[in-house]
Amino acid sequence: MVESIAPSPLPAPVTTPTTSTISERAQARRELLRVLFRRPSFLIGVAVILVWVLCAILGERITPYDPFNAFFKGHTPPSIDHLFGTDRLGRDVLSRVMVGSRDVLIVAPLAALLGVAVGTFLGLVMGYYRGFVDDVLSRVVEAFLALPVILVALLTLVVLGSSSVVVVFVVGLLFAPIVARTVRSAVLSERQLDYVTAAKLRGESGLFILSREIFPNVLGPTVVELTVRFGYAIFTVATLSFLGVGLQPPSPDWGLSVSQEYANMVAGIWWPTLFPALAIASTVIAVNLIADSLQSVLNE
Amino acid sequence: MTAAVAPKVESPTQAALRVEDLSLSYVVRGIPRPVLRGVTFEVKAGESYGLVGESGCGKSTTAYAAVRYLPRNAVITGGRILVDGDDITKMNAEQVRRFRMLHASMVYQDPGAALNPTTKVGPQVVEAFTVLGQSKRVAEENALKALRRVQIADPERVAQRYPHQLSGGMQQRVVIAIALASDPKLLVLDEPTTGLDATVEASVLDLVRTLQAETNAAVLLIAHNLGVIRTLCDRVGVMYAGKIVEEGDAATVFENPQHPYTLGLLRSLPRRGIRKSQRPLSTIPGNLPQIGTPLPTCVFVDRCPLADELCRTVEPPIVEVGQGQWTRCHHRDRLGQLVEPPPVAGHEAILGDLNLTLSNVSKTFHQSGHDVPALVKVSLDLHDGETLGLVGESGSGKSTLAKTILGIESPDAGADIELDEHALAAKSAGRPTADKRSMQMVFQNPDSALNRGWTGRQILARSVSKLTGLRGKAVSERVDKLAADLRLTQRHLDLKPRQLSGGLKQRLAIARAFAGDPRIVVADEPTSALDVSVQAAILNLLSELQLRSKTSYLLISHDLGVVRYLADRIAVMYLGRIMEVGSSETIFTGPNHPYTEALLSAVPNVDGEDRHRILLSGEIPSPANPPTGCVFNTRCPRVIRGLCEVTEPPLVEVEPGHLMSCHIPVDELRRLQTKAQREDLVLTTPPESIEAAAAQGVDPLP
């Protein structure tokens, strides 16, 4: 008689590797970070932002001169003593550029965060409930999108008076519609998926489905949107300072410094304008590099 | 079956396609991961060769390599690919372009994506000829000829349409016409009928076979459906983990497999009318090895019940079996030791108490001012512990019916859905928890059905606490029990869906449906996204769970083998109406409604039984504008002129437990259908004229 080997009617569970589950999930997160850190653009972005953050934190402790109260001869060109030269009041430009990131690095992230928070909420509601709610909110959002951000911010700040808090609110709320639109489209494709149907079939409330089922899955685009908005916020805050409605003197803010000195460019005094402008550019570019890397890694 | 009469071509001196010891790796993050490990086969002119195997075995990579259409990170690490004697692995970009232009063509899985949606069909076909250097005039003539050649009856009009205005079957015909424009030596078909209904699939397969005989091209076919391979292919290669493990004539390999993997694949199919009451299906334990893992000896060793020390130490040589069949196995002589699983008792067809009754359920969708009836006066009932199979072409209303029962869609006024003799609220949200708990659903695609942000444990726990009202420790106990029932380990529960294989994901989805001990589970194509070996395991689990819990299933599937295996009764739907209901045995033995008859005959069969094929004329009419009288009259091969177009036949009980909606008396149908085994039916109207008319919303047979 032949020995018979009966195949089991059910597949054996997949062989269990020795690694525990927790480390497996940590591993997935580490893998994501590893991929991020292999991207030169991400590294450059992070490095630049780190430099500005360090400057902002350490401030006067590492600047060559007091950025506020050390007055030298006005408008001396870059030299060994003053690498970036001095401004019209004789303050050291390098020292002022180094501490100039302080305000923007507080105001811009807060504005971006506010914009993304409000925008994500709106986007979730619009995408999930659709119908009447979506129609009304979408029209409002479109109306806001049609307004030039700087112009509205300018008017609001003139009316309400300038302060960092107002800048955060104005810039943040003006960003919200843009974020809302992105999140809405992510939610629209998400709500088509069967897990939402399954949740409805077991009687989940709309609030639960939105916050616990859908929201975690649109977190990716939301994080990307946050970094992108951060970049735009830096730019917008600098622009408002330049226009004189943002931060007020004697703040060493980059945008403000540019606005106070650019008139002297015609006279050949380029350094007090160029260096703060470069600082703004480097920060915006660095943030965008990070945003791009995040986006492509999360989409992979 | 017509496969037997496909003309065999004299073997030429040179194979049209010859793949020699092909090795290929995908470079992922700098590390090459081998996908093909020495694939060798050849396809002669006029021959069709099929590659089968589970997803991930390398069959698609092989097919794409044959036309050198590989992703950027693919590296050919060894071997040659000869098409008509030319080594295409050594060609430069321009040579490859000319090679593809003149000698090789490909037909893809999704014809909708293969055609440009913004351009009319005509210019797209013309383009295939103008690239060959033909003048516009000649190309236009040839394009019309090409469309006629793929049996499009009215090419002038079809050429004026955009791809989205054509049905899937018509789109695929157009793609085939384009592929054949250059009269290629090699035609690669990648799952050409996967997205199509069985009735359309049958006609596309017939077309490919006819054209192949005409053009004498070598055909390389990739399909996961073994029935399609059997219907179309002369020879077949079985692939596993980047190697061909067995090769031979399609009939020989399928009748008399000589490799444990082939045997496992064939046995995991629900075929030859096997039912759950007889025995569980065979499965292949384990999974394909992960891409990139080293495989020193026999590639199948980890999943093979026959594997021993020899298999782990010595790579099995090619063993000739005769008649061109060979296998890579040490233990060919021991295949007889692999027996099918023993029968299970308890599935005797005892009809339990009635639990669900539908009467007069209609559902009309309103689309831009038009009423589109998706369900028309459907009445059905379901008993404890039985499986009701719902079959029909896509667009017949199967899924809408399931959604209406579950309360995802609300039915039109006048409908009555009763569960255990109390009426159910139209919308799921309006039903008490007890009712929600009683009815749950298993979806087709587990990727979409499981929240990818949650772990398996979170998914199950939420369903358990929401449906049963349990709290705390009781929840985790229930979750553990569910997991154990579905053979999920604790480790699986802590993973997120993307870390699980397709089969494990579907088991998790089934566990979720069973969280609250449901009375009824609606399963919408529960296995169509899975490989056959995994499908077998899922079907076994479903029938085991049913046996234990006396749950009723409403099973929607296009795979009649699956339906036959699991279903106790079957309802056949067409254009939102029930055409026939009966026990599984009645439906599969007949006499049948002519629509059921055609549906059954269209399925490509792995066993290649000589069976009469009824080609259904045209495609399903638009539900927005259904034909008058019997809705099937426009396609019915047995239509009675003057009666069927005028009066809609009622759904009446023609035999005990067998309901049918047809004017032809059941005894007459029985006589006709026995006779039809011998005699071909004559189509009443050419297929495309009906189809064209239906697309225009005109009743073709006034």
B52 beta partners: B238
Residue A133: what residue type? V
Measured CA distances, B385 to B349, B422, B443, B519, B542 (Å): 9, 19, 20, 8, 12
Residues in chain A closer than 8 A to B487 (CB atoms): 10-11, 13
The answer to whether the beta carbons of residues B90 and B143 sit under 8 Å apart is no
Does B30 contact A at CB distance below 8 Å? no
The structural domains of chain A, with segments of one domain joined by +, span 101-299
Give the B window 390-419 contacts with A, CB below 8 Å: 406-408
In terms of pLDDT, which residue wins out, B262 or B7?
B262
Measured CA distances, A126 to A142, A143, A181, A188, A222 (Å): 13, 15, 9, 9, 15
Distance from C-alpha of A250 to C-alpha of A200, rounded to nearest angstrom: 58
Residues in chain B closer than 8 A to A194 (CB atoms): 443-445, 448-449
B552 by DSSP, 3-state: which?
strand
Q: Taking CA atoms, what residue in B is nearest to A4?
A: B337
Going by pLDDT thresholds of 50, 70 and 90, the confidence category of residue B2 is: very low
The candidate with the shortest Cα–Cα distance to B45, out of B103, B116, B114, is B103
Phi, psi of B662 (to 5 degrees): -150, 145
Does B672 contact A at CB distance below 8 Å? no
Q: Does residue B223 lie within any of the structural domains?
A: no
The answer to whether the beta carbons of residues B618 and B687 sit under 8 Å apart is yes
Does B530 contact A at CB distance below 8 Å? no
Best of B347, B470, B491, B540 to mutate (most A CBs within 10 Å, chain A): B491
Give the B window 297-336 contacts with A, CB below 8 Å: 305-306, 336
Residue B407, phi-psi category: left (phi > 0), alpha (psi -120 to 50), beta (remainder): left
Which pLDDT does position B278 carry in this prediction?
84
Q: CA geometry: angle at B194 spanning B191 and B196, to 5°?
A: 135
* pLDDT of B312 above 70: yes
Which pLDDT does position B702 carry in this prediction?
31
Q: Cα torsion at B642, B646, B648, B654 (round to 10°)?
A: -20
- Residue tagged 């259908």 (tokens): B673
Distance from C-alpha of B112 to C-alpha of A254, rounded to nearest angstrom: 55
Residues of A with CB under 8 A from a CB of B: 2-16, 21-22, 24-25, 28, 35, 193-195, 197-198, 200-204, 213, 216-217, 219
Residues in chain A closer than 8 A to B492 (CB atoms): 13-14
Which pLDDT does position A39 carry in this prediction?
87
Same domain, B638 and B528: no
In this complex, do A217 and B452 lie within 8 Å of one another by their Cβ atoms? Answer: yes
Q: Does residue B7 lie within any of the structural domains?
A: no
Same domain, B596 and B567: no
In this complex, do B341 and A7 lie within 8 Å of one another by their Cβ atoms? Answer: yes
Q: Does residue B202 lie within any of the structural domains?
A: no
The mean pLDDT value of chain A amounts to: 84
* pLDDT of B10 above 60: no
In this complex, do A10 and B453 lie within 8 Å of one another by their Cβ atoms? Answer: no
In this complex, do B534 and A197 lie within 8 Å of one another by their Cβ atoms? Answer: no
Same domain, B315 and B169: no
pLDDT tens track for B65-82: 999 888 888 999 989 999
Residues in chain A closer than 8 A to B406 (CB atoms): 201
Same domain, B646 and B672: yes
Q: Does residue B70 lie within any of the structural domains?
A: no
| Burial of B603 (C-beta count, 10 Å sphere; 0-12/13-18/19+) | buried
In this complex, do B337 and A4 lie within 8 Å of one another by their Cβ atoms? Answer: yes
B351 by DSSP, 3-state: which?
coil
Beta pairing class for B104-107 and B86-87: unpaired
Same domain, B559 and B675: no
Percent of chain B residues topping a pLDDT of 70? 92
Which of B341, B515, B516 lies nearest to residue A9, judging by beta carbons? Answer: B341
Which pLDDT does position B679 carry in this prediction?
43
In this complex, do A197 and B264 lie within 8 Å of one another by their Cβ atoms? Answer: no
* pLDDT of B243 above 50: yes
In this complex, do A8 and B504 lie within 8 Å of one another by their Cβ atoms? Answer: no
Distance from CA of A13 to the nearest CA of B (A): 7
Distance from C-alpha of B464 to C-alpha of A202, rounded to nearest angstrom: 9
Which pLDDT does position B355 carry in this prediction?
87
Measured CA distances, B474 to B465, B470, B492 (Å): 9, 6, 20
Size of interface A-B (CB pairs under 8 A): 126
Distance from CA of B60 to the nearest CA of A (A): 22
| Burial of A166 (C-beta count, 10 Å sphere; 0-12/13-18/19+) | middle
The mean pLDDT value of chain B amounts to: 86
Structure tokens at A108: 């811009």
Residue B1: what residue type? M
Which pLDDT does position B587 carry in this prediction?
92
The candidate with the shortest Cα–Cα distance to B331, out of B391, B260, B401, B393, is B260
The candidate with the shortest Cα–Cα distance to A283, out of A107, A145, A36, is A107
Assign residue B491 the CATH number of its domain.
Answer: 3.40.50.300
In this complex, do A217 and B466 lie within 8 Å of one another by their Cβ atoms? Answer: no
Which pLDDT does position B295 carry in this prediction?
73
pLDDT tens track for B88-140: 888 898 999 999 888 899 998 888 889 999 999 999 999 999 998 899 999 99
Same domain, B327 and B359: no
Residues in chain B closer than 8 A to A208 (CB atoms): none
Q: Does residue B73 lie within any of the structural domains?
A: no
Q: Does residue B257 lie within any of the structural domains?
A: no
In this complex, do A203 and B433 lie within 8 Å of one another by their Cβ atoms? Answer: yes
Average the pLDDT over A263-273 and give the result. 86
Which of B448, B452, B537 lies nearest to residue A10, judging by beta carbons? Answer: B537
CA B216 from centre of chain = 28
* pLDDT of B417 above 50: yes
The total number of structural domains in chain B stands at 4
Measured CA distances, B404 to B397, B408, B411, B680 (Å): 10, 6, 6, 40
* Architecture of the domain delimited by A101-299: Orthogonal Bundle (1.10)
- Maximum distance among all Cα pairs of chain B, rounded to whole angstroms: 78
Beta pairing class for B370-383 and B387-391: unpaired
Residue B388 parent element (H or E): strand B387-391
Distance from C-alpha of B597 to C-alpha of A66, rounded to nearest angstrom: 93
Same domain, B548 and B596: no
Same domain, B400 and B283: no
Which pLDDT does position B283 carry in this prediction?
87
Residue B677 lies in domain: 590-695
* pLDDT of B296 above 80: no
Phi, psi of B361 (to 5 degrees): -85, 115
Average the pLDDT over A44-61 and give the result. 90
Structure tokens at A284: 């915006």
Distance from C-alpha of B382 to C-alpha of B51, rounded to nearest angstrom: 41
Average the pLDDT over A58-64 and give the result. 85
The answer to whether the beta carbons of residues B375 and B361 sit under 8 Å apart is yes
Same domain, B365 and B489: yes
Same domain, B557 and B630: no
Q: Does residue B315 lie within any of the structural domains?
A: yes
Same domain, B323 and B364: no
Which of B341, B492, B496 lies nearest to residue A6, judging by beta carbons? Answer: B341
* pLDDT of B375 above 60: yes
Residue B361 parent element (H or E): strand B354-367
In terms of pLDDT, which residue wins out, A278 or A245?
A278
The answer to whether the beta carbons of residues B241 and B295 sit under 8 Å apart is yes
CA B12 from centre of chain = 35
Residues in chain A closer than 8 A to B441 (CB atoms): 197-198, 201
Distance from C-alpha of B371 to C-alpha of B367, rounded to nearest angstrom: 6
* pLDDT of B670 above 50: yes
Distance from C-alpha of A37 to C-alpha of B337, rounded to nearest angstrom: 54
Residues in chain B closer than 8 A to A3 (CB atoms): 337
Same domain, B508 and B381: yes
In this complex, do A201 and B285 lie within 8 Å of one another by their Cβ atoms? Answer: no
Which of A4, A202, A217 lies nearest to residue B467, judging by beta carbons? Answer: A202
Structure tokens at B53: 């195997």
Structure tokens at B332: 């060919």
Does B369 contact A at CB distance below 8 Å? no
In this complex, do A21 and B491 lie within 8 Å of one another by their Cβ atoms? Answer: yes
Q: Does residue B566 lie within any of the structural domains?
A: yes
The answer to whether the beta carbons of residues A195 and B450 sit under 8 Å apart is yes
Last residue of a domain, one of B158, B181, B204: B181
In this complex, do A5 and B443 lie within 8 Å of one another by their Cβ atoms? Answer: no
Does B550 contact A at CB distance below 8 Å? no
In this complex, do B466 and A3 lie within 8 Å of one another by their Cβ atoms? Answer: no
Which pLDDT does position B677 carry in this prediction?
53
In this complex, do A198 and B441 lie within 8 Å of one another by their Cβ atoms? Answer: yes
What single string gives the DSSP state of each residue in B623-641?
A: TTSPPSSSTTTTT-TT--T
Which pLDDT does position A23 carry in this prediction?
55
